[in-house]
Amino acid sequence: MDKEQHIIWQSFWAPSDTLLPGQSLFANEKLRAASAIKNSKSSYYSLHMNASGHLELHWESDVIYWTSENPSSASNLSAFLTTNGALELRDRRSKAVWSAFGQDHNDSVNYRYLRLDVDGNLRLYSWVESLGLWRSVWQAVENQCMVFATCGELGVCVFNASGSAECKCPFQVSAGNKCLVPFERDCASGTNMIAYKNTYLYAFYPPDNSVITSNLQHCEQLCLNDPHCTAATFSNDRTPLCSIKKTRYVTGYSDPSVSSISFAKRCSGPIAVNPSFTKSPPSEPPPPLCVPCLMGAATGTFFIIVILQLGIMFIYRRKNSTRQKATLGFIGTNSKGLIVLSFSEIKTLTGDFKNQIGPKVFKGLLPNNLPIALKDLNATLEERKFRSAVMKMGCIHHKNLVKLEGYCCEFDHRFLLYEYCKKGSLDKYIDDPALCKMLTWRKRVEICSSMAKAICYLHSGCREFISHGNLKCENVMLDENLVAKVSEFGFAIADGKATYCGFSAEKDVEDFGKVVLSLLTGCRDHEHVELCGWAYKEWMEERVVNVIDRRMEGGYNSEELERVLRIAFWCLQMDERRRPSMGEVVRVIDGTLSVDPPPPPFAFQRPLQVDDSEENVSEFEV
């Protein structure tokens, strides 16, 4: 400070690798990760707040491997860490235009911080008072293998079912423990290519890859014929592309979900011998066979096999006996912070499944008195697929999605542990005349907005598109403050019914429109076609007051009602191409985007008979 007590400099103005709550990162400023190498002051990884309004994770200066969204397209934004566990991009008026939430967002946590870790991932940490440790509650790159050069000279990154990244070397390991492409340019006997399925390779030193359009066979042949090429990768997500690498410093990632095929060049035979080496002396004749020695070795091998079998049987029986003991000593938490339970612990927490609160859903109580809801899944789910789905679900965090607390995957048992929502599901409040009075107009609009934001996050806020696939009133939960939280998305992923390709965004939009109409009218007619047709007719004839649930206490905002009804009818259009995105739905409900009067929804349309002389197409009329 100067003589007038004005601040000249403070540490908040010069962040290193960490942001604290209340601290900002302004345009053209950056965080740099600490070095993983002892006594080294520099790191390859850095976080940049660029002038165009994006947060970017960099490797060195020219490789960008993660970028935040900027829905407003505004420039000169700043990154800000809030005290309630949110990383925000704010404009000049301190209004948030983009946010990322930790899984404990809005929880009573005393200490938090955001750090660019040595592995190149940006993580938000919270202090868990009961455990006395820091826990990661959000990370920018969900799959660590997608961080550029995660393995570097150690090989190829493999994201295993336990949720951690491993570095494996498919090539030869050099004397310095480096995993390098086996090709060297002084091969005396020619070269050939080794294929690696479900693997994407890229050069990292230097990070230079030449990409051309090519098919699989041509890609392999291009590298084989190029004396400077060391490896190649063919990918065909939308356009068939071939990436050529011209360095032995190659890394990448491998996973069954990766469709790419990579090739590494190697010498067909031994590398040419340096002529300065002296020749080896002639070999001596082999010694005669020792028959007693062979018999002794065979006998010893037999006894070793017997001992191993007995040991395996002992371990198996011990596991089975442990499984029967009902204890509350948790197995622990995995890398995503999820609780991992045994089936015996599940039985104890639920009181042997005495309190059923829904179809295959039971209420339980953790040792810290935290209530939870346990969903019993299909026991035939393959263990590897189930664990992989849980890892993906553990990365999905939003304040309007029911939080996944943990899971059980033991032999023939599959359970998901969700946070417990005290007020139950929305359908109970719509059906019960007494409970329905608690749903004021303001509360109904807030529920619509919360549902829309949750589905929008699944569609565009996650690393990959996720469709809910089964949105209905029964799957909208209400907490003690009647805040809506969408559930069952995790069940759909784990059960394999609504994965990234199983359902579409348009189906979710249509289901959202049905739930909105049920919430506004107070009718849960299973024939949504009739409900939608009646509501649209009343709206068209300017009798919109008839649409509102007559049991609702208090008034309503006519402008909001018009807005919500319009977007609901747009969601229910027969032509899926006319339906809005969930991002547009959110903006309309919140009043930041205007919406035109909708054409008749599918319930108001019927087939029109076409004359035989006309083209054989389906038409519709009002």
pLDDT tens-digit series, residues 500-518:
334 578 899 999 999 999 9
Higher pLDDT, 333 or 407: 407
- Beta strand 179-180 with 172-173 is antiparallel
Q: Which helix (H) or strand (E) holds 588?
A: helix 582-589
Q: Report the distance separating Cα 98 and Cα 113, nearest Å.
A: 18
Give, as one character, the DSSP assignment of residue 62: T
pTM value? 0.50
Q: How far is CA 462 from CA 68, 88, 456, 472, in A?
A: 11, 16, 10, 21
Question: Residue 13: is its pLDDT beyond 90?
Answer: no
Q: Report the distance separating Cα 302 and Cα 300, nearest Å.
A: 5
Question: Residue 81: is its pLDDT beyond 80?
Answer: yes
| Three-state secondary-structure class, residue 225 | helix
Query: Rounded to 5 degrees, what angle do the CA atoms 244, 190, 232 make?
Result: 15
Query: Rounded to 5 degrees, what angle do the CA atoms 357, 360, 365 make?
Result: 55
| Domain 152-267 classification at class level | alpha beta
- Nearest residue to 394 via CA among 336, 330, 343, 322: 336
| Three-state secondary-structure class, residue 459 | helix
The beta strands (E) that lie in 20-102 are given as 24-25, 29-32, 45-49, 55-59, 63-67, 78-81, 86-90, 96-101
- What residues are paired with 173 via a beta bridge? 179
pLDDT in tens, 485-499: 999 885 555 555 544
Contact 186, 271 (CB under 8 A): yes
Higher pLDDT, 5 or 596: 596
pLDDT band at 454 (very low <50, low <70, confident <90, very high): very high
**Which pLDDT score, from 0 to 100, does residue 244 have?**
93
Mean pLDDT value of segment 370-386: 80
Question: Residue 219: is its pLDDT beyond 80?
Answer: yes
Q: Which helix (H) or strand (E) holds 233?
A: strand 231-235
Question: Residue 41: is its pLDDT beyond 80?
Answer: no
Give the DSSP letter string of 484-539. EEE-SHHHHHHTTSSSTTTS-HHHHHHHHHHHHHHHHH----S-HHHHHHHHHHHH
| Domain 333-420 classification at class level | alpha beta
pLDDT band at 143 (very low <50, low <70, confident <90, very high): confident
Q: Report the distance separating Cα 103 and Cα 109, nearest Å.
A: 12
Superfamily of domain 425-622: Transferase(Phosphotransferase) domain 1 (1.10.510.10)
Contact 122, 116 (CB under 8 A): yes
Higher pLDDT, 74 or 147: 147
Count the residues in the chain. Answer: 622
Question: Residue 609: is its pLDDT beyond 90?
Answer: no
Domain ranges for the chain, please list them: 11-139, 152-267, 333-420, 425-622
Q: Report the distance separating Cα 577 and Cα 594, nearest Å.
A: 19
The owner of tokens 């091969």 is: 187
Mean pLDDT, the chain, rounded, equals 80
Contact 428, 435 (CB under 8 A): yes
- Fold of the 11-139 domain: Agglutinin, subunit A (2.90.10)
Higher pLDDT, 382 or 442: 442
- Nearest residue to 91 via CA among 69, 102, 106, 75: 75
Q: Which helix (H) or strand (E) holds 380?
A: none
- For the chain, first and last CA: distance in Å? 74
In sequence order, the 6+-apart residues with CB closer than 8 A to the CB of 1 are: 7, 8
Q: Which amino acid is at 549?
A: D
Please state the separation of Cα 166 from the chain's center in Å.
Answer: 18
Q: How far is CA 4 from CA 7, 11, 68, 514, 519, in A?
A: 9, 19, 40, 64, 60
Q: How far is CA 227 from CA 250, 272, 335, 424, in A?
A: 16, 16, 43, 67
Q: In a 10 Å sphere around its CB, with 0-12 CB exposed, 13-18 middle and 19+ buried, how is residue 31 labelled?
A: buried
In sequence order, the 6+-apart residues with CB closer than 8 A to the CB of 86 are: 96, 99, 100, 101, 102, 105
**Which pLDDT score, from 0 to 100, does residue 279 have?**
35
Other Cβ atoms closer than 10 A to 91 = 15
Mean pLDDT value of segment 456-462: 85
pLDDT in tens, 585-598: 999 999 999 999 99
Q: Which two tokens stand for residue 13?
A: 């103005």
Q: Which amino acid is at 83?
A: T
Contact 219, 234 (CB under 8 A): yes
Contact 455, 582 (CB under 8 A): yes
**Which pLDDT score, from 0 to 100, does residue 329 have?**
41
